[in-house]
Amino acid sequence: MNRHFKWALVTGASRGIGAAIARILSENSYNVLLLARNEALLREVSREIIVKGGHARWLGVDLTSEADLKKLREWARNSEIRFSLLVLNAGIAKVGKVLEMSMEDWRKVLEVNLLSPVALIKNLESFITSPGQLIFINSAAGKTAFAEWGAYCASKFALRAVADTLRAELAEKNIRVTSVYPSSVNTPMHDELSLPWDRSKMLKPEDVAKAVLAATEFSDNVNVNDITVENISGKF
Ligand SMILES: NC(=O)c1ccc[n+]([C@@H]2O[C@H](COP(=O)([O-])OP(=O)(O)OC[C@H]3O[C@@H](n4cnc5c(N)ncnc54)[C@H](OP(=O)(O)O)[C@@H]3O)[C@@H](O)[C@H]2O)c1
Instruction: Report the share of the chain in percent with pLDDT over 70.
Output: 97
pLDDT tens digits, residue range 133-159?
Answer: 999 999 999 999 999 999 999 999 999
The stretch 45-68 carries a mean pLDDT of 98
> Between 69 and 194, where is the model more confident?
69
- Is residue 152 flagged as an active site residue? yes
According to DSSP, the residues that pair with 132 across neighbouring strands are: 175
In testing the pocket of ligand 1, which one of 180, 187, 207, 208 has its CB within 8 Å of the most ligand atoms? 187
Q: Is 54 in the pocket of ligand 1 (CB under 6 A)?
A: no
Q: Pick the catalytic residue: 152, 170, 180, 224?
A: 152
> Longest C-alpha distance within the chain, in Å?
57
Any ligand 1 atom below 6 A from CB of 22? no
* Binding site membership of 12 for ligand 1 (Cβ less than 6 Å): yes
The answer, yes or no, to whether any atom of ligand 1 lies below 6 A from the CB of 20, is: no
CA distance 84 to 132: 5
Domains and CATH numbers, the chain: 6-229 (3.40.50.720)
> What atom of ligand 1 comes closest to residue 62's alpha carbon?
32
- DSSP designation for 123: H
